[in-house]
């Protein structure tokens, strides 16, 4: 999401059209690009909102994905040890009935922890579940945990996780759910996560979203290549 990478040569007229749409849509925190082409270069720079909608807020699940059989899949770590993707069809049967246990033994990539007195809880980084524990009960799984700022965890992802959990508990229905961390190049810290969800039994009437949540922390500068961080000049 750096200016240098945003200025790469556009390779096709279609890509140019998508870029023009982005420049208009970013002012409204919407980014209408076809889901199949969404990438980290498509995401507008952080501008004060913890998330933006992408692909006109339409998730990319197809009819072949529709099922009421619960499942969960966690992609293997890549060559750099980074999480790749987590996907599930979440029903009441997957949701945990026990409290979460410790996840301190998992150290995701980019974990350079620091504390700042202006952050709630002080610590900058959380071990952020791609699929929240309240949804599938998956806990200390290295393929489901990334280094995420407190802001990403609480302001970005948690409201969407709560929305899905509340819906399933109230209806007993299933929700297709996919979270993809988005890295730039060989960075060890994700720029953010792409979250998609779609309720199956009512064909998206209850739950339907496609958003990107920013892995930032207001007041803190972050080196995404390493995860190192320091207090911002304007703080």
Q: Could you tell me the CATH number of the domain that includes residue 117?
A: 3.40.570.10
Structural domain of 88: 60-231
161 in a structural domain: yes
Q: What is the pLDDT of residue 9?
A: 37
108 in a structural domain: yes
3 in a structural domain: no
Q: What is the pLDDT of residue 38?
A: 65
CA distance 151 to 126: 9
Max alpha carbon distance in the chain (Å)? 53
Element (H, E) at 169: helix 158-171
24 in a structural domain: no
pLDDT tens series, the chain, 235 aa? 544 444 433 333 343 333 333 333 333 233 333 344 468 888 999 999 999 999 999 999 999 999 999 999 999 999 999 999 999 999 999 999 888 899 999 999 999 999 999 999 999 999 999 999 999 999 999 999 999 999 999 999 999 999 999 999 999 999 999 999 999 999 999 999 999 999 999 999 999 999 999 999 999 999 999 999 999 987 7
33 in a structural domain: no
221 in a structural domain: yes
How many structural domains does the chain have? 1
Question: Over the stretch 2-33, which tens digit does the pLDDT of each residue have?
Answer: 444 444 333 333 433 333 333 333 332 333 33
25 in a structural domain: no
Asked if 194 contacts 179 with a C-beta cutoff of 8 angstroms, the reply is: yes
54 in a structural domain: no
């Amino acid at each position: 999401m750096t200016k240098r990478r945003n200025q790469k040569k556009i390779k096709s007229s279609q890509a140019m059209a998508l870029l023009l749409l982005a420049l208009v849509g970013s002012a409204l925190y919407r980014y209408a690009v076809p889901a199949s082409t969404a990438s980290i270069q498509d995401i507008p720079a952080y501008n004060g909102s913890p998330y933006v909608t992408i692909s006109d807020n339409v998730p990319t699940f197809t009819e072949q994905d529709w099922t009421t059989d619960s499942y969960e899949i966690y992609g293997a770590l890549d060559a750099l040890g980074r999480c790749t993707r987590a996907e599930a069809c979440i029903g009441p049967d997957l949701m945990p009935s026990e409290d979460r246990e410790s996840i301190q033994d998992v150290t995701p990539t980019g974990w350079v922890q620091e504390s700042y007195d202006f952050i709630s809880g002080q610590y900058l980084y959380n071990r952020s579940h791609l699929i929240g524990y309240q949804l599938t009960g998956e806990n200390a799984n290295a393929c489901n945990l990334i280094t995420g700022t407190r802001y990403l965890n609480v302001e970005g992802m948690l409201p969407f996780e709560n929305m899905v959990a509340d819906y399933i508990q109230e209806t007993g229905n299933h929700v297709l759910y996919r979270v993809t961390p988005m890295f730039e190049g060989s960075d060890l810290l994700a720029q953010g996560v792409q979250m998609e969800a779609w309720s199956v039994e009512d064909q998206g009437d209850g739950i339907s979203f496609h958003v990107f949540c920013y892995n930032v922390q207001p007041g803190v500068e972050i080196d995404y290549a390493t995860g190192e961080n320091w207090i911002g000049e304007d703080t």
